[in-house]
Chain A
Amino acid sequence: MNSRLFALLSAALVLLPGLPTSASQTQRSDPETGAASWETHAHGVTLLLSQIPPDPARAFYLNRGFPPQAVEPYATACVYMTVLRNDAAPGELSFRLDDWRVQSGGQSLPPKSVEAWMAQWRALGLTEAAQIAFRWAQFPPEQEYAVGEWNQGMLTTGLPPGSRFDLIARWTVAGKTYEGKLENVVCAR
C-alpha cells in the first residue's frame, strides 16, 4: 500500500495541474487523490480520461458483489473514467470503441471490450446483479450523441499499471471520420 501511495504522490508531483501537453490537450491531477486526468477538444468534441487507480476500482466492484479474485484482473487493467461529449460537432456523431486505438510499445489495439469482460464474468458465474452493475458502469461500446449529448463510464486499456500510451478516439459525423488524440497517458499504479 505504501508503494502505491508513493507512486500516486509522485504522479501528482509530475503532473502539474493544467499543464498543456499539446495544442489542445491538458492534464491535471486531483489534489486529494493524486489521480491524473487528460482532456482534449477536437472537432467540437471533448474527450476526457481520468485515472481510476486499482484500490478505488477494487472497492467499487467489491461493493457490488464481485469476489476479490474476480476484481483483481479488472482493477489492474489500467482503468479510466471516460467522458466523450458532443459539444459542437457538425452534427450527430456515432462511434464504436472497436475503432479506437490504444498505442503503446509499438502496438496499436482497441481498448479491452466490455464483451470480453462480460465473458469472463459469465465464466466465473458472477451474480446477475453484479454483471448488470458492471455492464452499465462501463463506457458504452457504441453510441450516438447529438450536440449536447455525452456519457461517462469506465474504460480499460488492458495495459499493466504504470504503462504509458496514446489513445486515438474516432467518431463519424455524416459519414466523415474524425479523430481526437490523447498523448502520453499514464496508467495508475
Chain B
Amino acid sequence: MSFVRAESGMKQGLFTLLLACMAVLPGAAAAADLPPLTQGLTPIAEPKPAPALRLTDLDGKVHDLADLKGKLVVVNFWATWCPPCRREMPSLERLRVRLEKQGLAVLAVDVGEDADTVFSFSGQLEPAPNFPLLLDQDSKAMQRWKVKGLPTTFVIDPQGRVIYRAVGGREFDSPAMIEALLALTLKQ
C-alpha cells in the first residue's frame, strides 16, 4: 500500500512539509545533545602518497590534488544530509581564511549529490565556503580513499603524502587545530 496515497489531503500537506524538512539525516538531536566536534587530528604512523583526486566543482571546473603539491591540503569528504558534516563546514572555511596565506588549501568532496543540491546547501552556510566543492557523484573517489563514514578528513603534506586523518566532525578552527596546522605550514 502506498503510504502517500493513504494520507488525507491535510495529512498529505503535513507530509510534504515533513519531506521538505528532511534535508538532513533524521534523529539528529538538539544541539545540546549532539556529540561534541573533536578538536584534534590523528597522525598517520607511516605516511603514504595520497590517492588520486581529480573531480569537477559546482561550475564544472576540474580540480586535481596533484596540482596542489607544495601546499598543505585539507581534503574533506562530506554530504549535505550528514549532520556532523553540516556542523563542521563553517569551521573549515574559517580555517581556510586563517591559514590560506601560509600555504593551506581546502578541497571538500561531496559524495553522491548533484551540483544544485550542494549549491543550495552551501548558500545557507555562514560563512559560506570559498573553497572548491567537488562532486563525487558515483562515490568512486571516496572508495579510493577508503573512507568508511562521513565526515572523514585528510591532511596532505606538501609532498603529497597523507599525514593526518580525522574521522567524525571537527572544529577546524579551534586553537588546537590551528596551532597544529600552522606548525605544518611553517615547516614548508
Name A's B-contacting residues (CB within 8 A).
1, 28, 30, 32, 35, 37, 46, 48, 50-52, 55-60, 62-64, 68-69, 71-72, 79-81, 83, 85, 128-129, 132-133, 135-137, 139-140, 142-146, 148-154
B-side interface mostly: loop
Interface 1/0s, chain B 24-39, versus A by CB < 8 A?
0111111001010011
Give the docked Cα–Cα distance between A146 and B137 (Å): 29
Q: What are 17 A-B contacts with C-beta separation under 8 Å?
A: A28-B33, A32-B30, A59-B15, A79-B27, A81-B29, A128-B138, A129-B113, A129-B114, A136-B149, A137-B82, A143-B149, A143-B167, A146-B167, A150-B38, A152-B35, A152-B84, A154-B25
Within 8 A of A (CB), among B24-58: 25-30, 33, 35, 38-40, 42
Chain B interface residue count, CB cutoff 8 Å, equals: 43
Q: Is the CB of B27 within 8 A of A56?
A: yes
Asked if residues B168 and A149 are in contact (CB atoms below 8 Å), the reply is yes
B112 at the interface (CB under 8 A from A): yes
- B18: interface (CB < 8 Å): yes
Least CB distance from A78 to B in Å reads 12
- Complex contacts, A28 vs chain B, CB 8 Å: 33
Cα–Cα distance between A105 and B56 once the two chains are bound (Å): 51
Q: Is B111 in contact with A132, judged by CB distance below 8 angstroms? A: yes
- Chain A residues with CB under 8 A of B138: 128, 132
When the two chains form their complex, are residues A132 and B168 in contact, meaning their CB atoms are under 8 A apart?
no
Among the listed B2, B29, B168, which residue makes an inter-chain contact with A85, where contact means beta carbons less than 8 Å apart?
B168
A1 to B2, CA, bound (A): 14
The reply to whether A137 and B21 form a contact with Cβ atoms under 8 Å apart is no
Distance between A17 CB and nearest chain B CB, rounded to angstroms: 10
- CB of B19 closer than 8 Å to a CB of A: yes
Min CB–CB distance B99 → chain A (angstroms): 21
